[in-house]
Amino acid sequence: MIRLLALCSTATLLSGCVAAAIPLAATGTLAGKSVLDSGSEESSAPAAPPEAAAAPVRVAERPPASASPAPKPAAPSAPPASAAPLEPASAMRYLYGSGEAAATGVQAYNALGEWLASRAQDKIAGRPAISTVLAKGATLDRPGFVPCDGKPLAVVFDIDETVLLNVGFEGHAARTGAAYDEARWQRWEQTGANQVSAVPGAREAIEAARRAGIAVVFNSNRSAANAAATAAALEGAGLGSAVPGDTLWLREDGAEGGKDERRWRIADKYCVVALVGDQLGDFSDLFNTYSPISARRAVAVQPMVAPLWGSGWFILPNPVYGSGVAGGFDQVFPADKRWSDPMGDE
Amino acid sequence: MIRLLALCSTATLLSGCVAAAIPLAATGTLAGKSVLDSGSEESSAPAAPPEAAAAPVRVAERPPASASPAPKPAAPSAPPASAAPLEPASAMRYLYGSGEAAATGVQAYNALGEWLASRAQDKIAGRPAISTVLAKGATLDRPGFVPCDGKPLAVVFDIDETVLLNVGFEGHAARTGAAYDEARWQRWEQTGANQVSAVPGAREAIEAARRAGIAVVFNSNRSAANAAATAAALEGAGLGSAVPGDTLWLREDGAEGGKDERRWRIADKYCVVALVGDQLGDFSDLFNTYSPISARRAVAVQPMVAPLWGSGWFILPNPVYGSGVAGGFDQVFPADKRWSDPMGDE
């Protein structure tokens, strides 16, 4: 049997689309083979069953592995080495280790590639460009965008956990159990350029954007003082060059961490046809004016905002840190969805 | 200034696309307003700084909030109530509470909507349909798909953390600190229909698929014995009806948990133009034959697989449980990305 793999047919200009004739032994079967993807091979805690790996993969599609976190240390300072966790937190295992997170990254970047290809084609055809940067005075209920006029096209990326995975920093934190420390993060920015990885799919999308003549601009809250080291980290991860003040926009000493001001400065120069990030603040600072988290979650998907996701605004998963990782039990799990085990709650 | 919001222009048949003329006060500004989305309002642990919320939102785009999990209890049994966690784990806060996860869901479902619209148009135009179910004997290096012939179109969804969020079950586990227990999960399937939520975007995509004449089929490892309760959960969440043996495929008592066999049975009847899930096993059981996690992660985005993400295969984020939540420190954080703090490691 010969079948043609042409599933990526909607990708045209930017996405490298593979078409291949594939011989298939139609009678062959690989069904039933199931290898346990046990995390225990190198686990530092073989005695404690890993939360997900202890359950066979065959039933892992159902929720077999509720995170059962133990209490956090009361002291905010770093716990002694003996208190280091026995295994990485679920969020870290997912983001830095899983095929699922890698696929989710590639999915977002495939969509970005198709979107940018269409915008480049619009430009060639003389169709008006669409900006994705909210204008001053716009609201999330009434979004309106900075005019593009005849400006050159650009795509604006956040950096951390959007195009770069901070594997070295988070691995250090996970191993030592140390709480976040701003000074240590600064040292990481300065010295960690070789311990990052590209988010899966980011490299290909960035290369394709550049080939299509779309400027690649980074807008990050990393420190401007560390611009050279951050540019080296990007370059080292295969993401090409970034030039401070032109294609690399960072937080100045003492400045607020909002990104709108920098977005508007970038939009003065470029027609920003796409924004890419892992935090809602990578799209508009307005999201961070909503509280509590239920209101923030609601506005993120309200009717005027929802159509943007995947069509101009592209979001990457990050369960490890940031403004999405917040809320107490009653906020994360609303009272109207509270379940009591009929056999009694533990 | 009047600008036209027409960013969702690529969505046609299925996506409800909003076009609105928006008056903008170009001189207005909302910049600089930043409200801390503190999780502390109802936190059960006001003394311990919430890992993400303690840092102002303005710097949250950088990694301020490394999860610093404490050791898991040594005993696999449920800890006493006093050992319940002080705050939900990062993965749970993200998946069940964040705007970021909601946006990521909507992004995936927007893409699905556009994909299904194109497939429905193909059908109307008489263009050949493309199946997304790997054929028996196919491999991930050489994917090949079950022929569609003239079969009616369908989209196949996983259920848990794909179309339904198990808010009640996970909230119960988070509050009590109880480890996963299969018997409790069965009780949840039987009694939890009112304590689930729809994944953001799922309802709209499912409704649009049905309107376009594409059958909506569920393939889940929930128990066939609880089919009625699972169908009620789906219906209660606004996802419409599911009929066991036709549009609802569940795991029979004692059966293996792989999904390929059920996928093939569904593909006997339908031309499956899209698969939707949160675990790699929702797309092919072959992924679960790869080990260690680095190999599994690599195959998920290898050149023959990568183009499928967002073009036939649609993945939702789930950092809380499953086959992606696995691996020890040395697997999740490879040795070549290990960073040492120049000021000394704690």
pLDDT digits (tens, 9 = 90+) for B181-195: 999 999 999 999 999
* Cα A215 to Cα A118: distance, rounded to the nearest angstrom: 15
User: Considering only residues 48 to 107 of chain B, which have any Cβ-Cβ distance to chain A shorter than 8 Å?
Assistant: 48-53, 55-74, 76, 78-79, 81, 83-107
Token pair 């998907």 is found at A301
Give the pLDDT confidence score for residue B1 in this predicted structure. 32
> CB–CB of B71 and A70 under 8 A?
yes
Given a cut of 60, is residue B78 above it in pLDDT?
no
A17, A122, A130, A332: which to substitute to probe chain B, counting the most B Cβ within 10 Å?
A332
Give the pLDDT confidence score for residue B82 in this predicted structure. 45
> CB–CB of A106 and B301 under 8 A?
yes
Q: Which tens digit of pLDDT belongs to each residue from B94-136?
A: 999 999 999 999 999 999 999 999 999 999 999 999 899 999 9
Give the pLDDT confidence score for residue B72 in this predicted structure. 31
Q: Which one of B64, B256, B333 has the shortest CB-CB distance to A174? A: B333
Q: Is B147 a domain residue? A: yes
> Which residues of chain B does A105 touch, with a Cβ-Cβ cutoff of 8 Å?
301
Number of domains in chain B: 1
User: Minimal Cα–Cα distance from A241 to chain B, Å?
Assistant: 20
Q: Other CB atoms closer than 10 Å to residue A303's CB: what's the count?
A: 10
Give the pLDDT confidence score for residue A346 in this predicted structure. 61
Percent of chain B with pLDDT over 90: 71
Q: Is A228 a domain residue? A: yes
B11 touches chain A (CB under 8 A): yes
Give the pLDDT confidence score for residue A4 in this predicted structure. 32
Walk along chain A (346 residues) and give the pLDDT tens digit of each residue: 333 333 333 333 333 333 332 333 332 222 332 222 333 333 322 222 223 332 333 333 444 433 333 333 333 333 334 456 789 999 999 999 999 999 999 999 999 999 999 999 999 999 999 899 999 999 999 989 999 999 999 999 999 999 999 999 999 999 999 999 999 999 999 999 999 999 999 999 999 999 999 999 999 999 999 999 999 999 999 999 999 989 999 999 878 879 999 999 999 999 999 999 999 999 999 999 999 999 999 999 999 999 999 999 999 999 999 999 999 999 999 999 999 999 987 6
Strand pairing of B20-23 and B2-5? antiparallel
B33, B57, B196: which to substitute to probe chain A, counting the most A Cβ within 10 Å?
B57
B230 touches chain A (CB under 8 A): no
Given a cut of 60, is residue B142 above it in pLDDT?
yes
Q: How many CB pairs under 8 A join A and B?
A: 780
Q: Which one of B107, B161, B328 has the shortest CB-CB distance to A39? A: B328
Given a cut of 90, is residue B286 above it in pLDDT?
yes
> CB–CB of B326 and A52 under 8 A?
yes
Give the ipTM.
0.81
B219 touches chain A (CB under 8 A): no
| pTM for this predicted structure | 0.81
> CB–CB of A329 and B293 under 8 A?
no
Given a cut of 80, is residue B293 above it in pLDDT?
yes
Q: Is B22 a domain residue? A: no
Give the pLDDT confidence score for residue B86 in this predicted structure. 84
* Cα A105 to Cα B301: distance, rounded to the nearest angstrom: 9
Give the pLDDT confidence score for residue A245 in this predicted structure. 84
B35, B59, B68, B112: which to substitute to probe chain A, counting the most A Cβ within 10 Å?
B68
* Three-state secondary-structure class, residue A271: strand
B345 touches chain A (CB under 8 A): yes
Q: Is A346 a domain residue? A: no
Given a cut of 90, is residue B44 above it in pLDDT?
no
User: Minimal Cα–Cα distance from B231 to chain A, Å?
Assistant: 16
Task: Report which of residues B13 and A182 the model is more confident about.
Answer: A182
Give the pLDDT confidence score for residue A21 in this predicted structure. 29
Q: Is A25 a domain residue? A: no
> CB–CB of A318 and B70 under 8 A?
no
Q: Which domain holds residue B258?
A: 66-76+86-322
DSSP state of B134: B
B278, B333, B336: which to substitute to probe chain A, counting the most A Cβ within 10 Å?
B333
Are residues A151 and A270 in contact, defined by beta-carbon separation less than 8 angstroms? yes
* Cα B79 to Cα B75: distance, rounded to the nearest angstrom: 8
Q: Is B346 a domain residue? A: no
**Domain containing residue A162: CATH number:** 3.40.50.1000
**Quick one: tokens of B35?**
């409200």
Percent of chain B with pLDDT over 70: 75
Given a cut of 60, is residue B263 above it in pLDDT?
yes
Phi, psi for B248 (deg, rounded to 5): -135, 110
Nearest to B221 by CA among B253, B184, B250: B250
- Cis peptide preceding B292, ω within 30 of 0: yes
A255 touches chain B (CB under 8 A): no
Q: Is A126 a domain residue? A: yes
Give the pLDDT confidence score for residue B130 in this predicted structure. 86
Q: Is A327 a domain residue? A: no
| Mean pLDDT, chain B, integer | 81
> CB–CB of B291 and A42 under 8 A?
no
Q: Which residues pair with B155 in a beta bridge?
A: B216, B274
| Amino acid at site B208 | A
Give the pLDDT confidence score for residue A256 in this predicted structure. 80
The alpha helices in chain A, defined as continuous H runs, are 90-92, 99-125, 167-176, 182-191, 202-211, 227-236, 260-269, 293-300, 329-332
Task: Report which of residues B11 and A110 the model is more confident about.
Answer: A110
Give the pLDDT confidence score for residue B326 in this predicted structure. 96
| Amino acid at site A189 | E
The alpha helices in B149-201, defined as continuous H runs, are 167-176, 182-191
Are residues B154 and B272 in contact, defined by beta-carbon separation less than 8 angstroms? yes
Given a cut of 80, is residue B18 above it in pLDDT?
no
